[in-house]
Amino acid sequence: MVGSIDHFIAGKIVKGRSGRQGDVFNPATGEVSAQVALASKAEVEEAIQAAQDALPGWAATPPLTRARVMFRYKQLLEQHVDELAEMLVNEHGKVLDDARGEVQRGLEVVEFACGIPHLLKGEFTESVGTNIDSYSMRQPVGVCVGITPFNFPAMVPLWMFPMAIACGNTFILKPSEKDPSAPLRLAELFMEAGGPKGVLNVVNGDKEAVDTLLTDPRVGAVSFVGSTAIGEYIYSTAAAHGKRVQALCGAKNHMVVMPDANIEKASDALMGAGYGAAGERCMAISVAVAVGDAGDRLIDALEPKVRALKVGPGMDPDSQMGPLVTKQHLEKVSGYVDLGVEEGAKLVVDGRNLHLQGYENGHFMGGTLFDQVTPDMRIYREEIFGPVLSVVRAPDFKSALKLVNDHEYGNGTSIYTQDGDAARAFASNCNIGMVGVNIPIPVPMAFHSFGGWKRSAFGDHGMYGMDAVRFYTKLKTITSRWLTGMTGGAEFAFPVMR
């Protein structure tokens, strides 16, 4: 009998009552490992009420006290890295080292949140007018919501709730129903760290749960990370219901390889960025733009490396790439490989139909490499989200930059070159949110902010860093004077400071 994964509301695990459940798989074996409860509207409303009830007390808790909870949470997360990482391997499929890295990158946001007393300091101006002072403060938005994707079940929730909570908000997390164990454990550990009940709640569910969160008047802000189609829906629906929204979405990240690049290093970078986590990263490189004569050399360097990629279960220390998250996703990704062949791209390495002894039902696929991909092809235009790397040839820097800028997505990009002028021109002129120079996956650190451009993000704030402080707080500015500053009589003209 498989176990059940339920909700975490008002400080405790709450059994699902909707009668609806979803299967959670171990992607390496293809077996159902658990059943996750899918919350009804009433169950989600219970979580919203718990967050609403906890709000006044938590918002009034001094930032220093909130920071101390975060310090204890950071310690607990450090002690539980391996436990969390194993949960990620067993439900997402990524390899153990990569899973540890995911937890670490999430933990760094908690470290940043420990500095919240400093981050929340407002501004003060003495004498904006005669005997009049002005100061600003940042106050919590209220009940905040996070809706997160399957590909980073620990890191993306940690991008959101530590900063929201440190800012004095309460939070409801609706994780992906594909790998819900780690997010639930994150909530239990937060309670253990001293988080009051109701401050962090987790509801598992699907559209019914999400729609309840997007429309309930008690919710003040919604953070979303996931695909563009759903993100656009989240953004417009939540905004239409008066909430502030940030929705970070899909991607098709290009790496430009200039003719002067070190091809050995560039191809190594493409291996990690294209095939790490089986390409299931929003910052994965899925397109290599080979400029001038870099093309043939790049393919020659890549082909043997892709063939040598060690694909296997995530808990095997020899595996470099694990399985895809579900059978359905595996079919979608290999369907894109069929499509690429139909569209006329040159299939250099074919990862379809990979069978691993002992793991016949696992969702495995080998690394796939296409050459001669062109911008009109669907395999170029659409996000595949699997271990499929497309090489596009461009005659010069200008046409490579144009490709990057013309694509509808604008999450991340990178350039490999030894020419400082080319790198500088690329960083200045690309229409993309996060840029790497000889760095394949330029994910900003926790004290910067993460966010894409174009159809990779809706809303005007990134995740974590100072953008999170701005997103999760409302700015209030006070202009104040005392009796000594008051002059007689009513004033009917618009006030001008003197």
**Interaction of residue 40 with ligand NAD, rule CB under 6 A:** no
Q: Whose Cβ is closer to ligand NAD: residue 142's or residue 153's?
A: 153
The set of residues, in sequence order, having a beta carbon less than 8 Å from that of 328 and lying 6+ positions away, is none
The set of residues, in sequence order, having a beta carbon less than 8 Å from that of 255 and lying 6+ positions away, is 266, 269, 270, 273, 285, 287, 288, 289, 413, 414, 415, 416, 436, 440
The set of residues, in sequence order, having a beta carbon less than 8 Å from that of 92 and lying 6+ positions away, is 27, 99, 150, 151, 153, 178, 179, 280, 314, 322, 325
The Cα–Cα gap between 222 and 247 comes to: 8
Residue 296 CB, nearest distance to ligand NAD (Å)? 30
The Cα–Cα gap between 218 and 184 comes to: 23
Quick one: which of 147, 160, 221, 423 contacts ligand NAD (CB under 6 A)?
147
Residue 404 CB, nearest distance to ligand NAD (Å)? 17
Phi then psi for residue 278, to 5 deg, are: 55, 30
Q: Whose Cβ is closer to ligand NAD: residue 167's or residue 248's?
A: 248
Residue 324 CB, nearest distance to ligand NAD (Å)? 11
Q: Whose Cβ is closer to ligand NAD: residue 456's or residue 473's?
A: 456
Quick one: which of 37, 249, 330, 379 contacts ligand NAD (CB under 6 A)?
249
**Interaction of residue 458 with ligand NAD, rule CB under 6 A:** no
Q: Are 365 and 347 a contacting pair, CB within 8 Å? A: no
In the beta sheet, which residues pair with residue 139? 474
Q: Which of 435, 410, 437, 444 is nearest to 423 (CA)?
A: 437
Active site residue 282: yes
The Cα–Cα gap between 125 and 421 comes to: 43
Contacts of ligand NAD in 259-318 (CB under 6 A): 282
Of the candidate spans 224-232, 288-296, 368-376, 464-472, the one that interacts with ligand NAD by CB under 6 A turns out to be: 224-232
Q: Whose Cβ is closer to ligand NAD: residue 149's or residue 168's?
A: 149
Q: Whose Cβ is closer to ligand NAD: residue 29's or residue 227's?
A: 227
**Interaction of residue 195 with ligand NAD, rule CB under 6 A:** no
CA 205, 209, 213, 217: dihedral to nearest 10 degrees? -150
**Interaction of residue 232 with ligand NAD, rule CB under 6 A:** no
Of the candidate spans 25-33, 169-177, 338-346, 349-357, the one that interacts with ligand NAD by CB under 6 A turns out to be: 169-177
Quick one: which of 73, 112, 385, 464 contacts ligand NAD (CB under 6 A)?
385
From the candidates 114, 144, 167, 282, give the one annotated as an active-site residue.
Answer: 282
Residue 476 CB, nearest distance to ligand NAD (Å)? 30
Binding string, 390-429, against ligand NAD, x = CB under 6 A?
---------------------x------------------
Could you identify the residue written with the tokens 């050995």?
Answer: 264
**Interaction of residue 145 with ligand NAD, rule CB under 6 A:** no
The Cα–Cα gap between 260 and 365 comes to: 33
Quick one: which of 180, 383, 446, 459 contacts ligand NAD (CB under 6 A)?
383
Burial class (CB in 10 A: 0-12, 13-18, 19+), 421: exposed
Residue 320's CB is within 10 A of a number of other CB atoms, namely 18
Quick one: which of 84, 210, 256, 392 contacts ligand NAD (CB under 6 A)?
210
DSSP state string for 275-341: HGGGG--TT-EEEEEEETTHHHHHHHHHHHHHHH--B--TTSTT-SB---S-HHHHHHHHHHHHHHH
Of the candidate spans 109-117, 141-149, 293-301, 350-358, the one that interacts with ligand NAD by CB under 6 A turns out to be: 141-149
What residue ranges bind ligand NAD (CB under 6 A)? 147-152, 156, 174, 176-177, 206-207, 210, 225-227, 230, 248-251, 282, 383, 385, 411, 452, 456
Q: Could you give the residue numbers annotated as active site?
A: 282
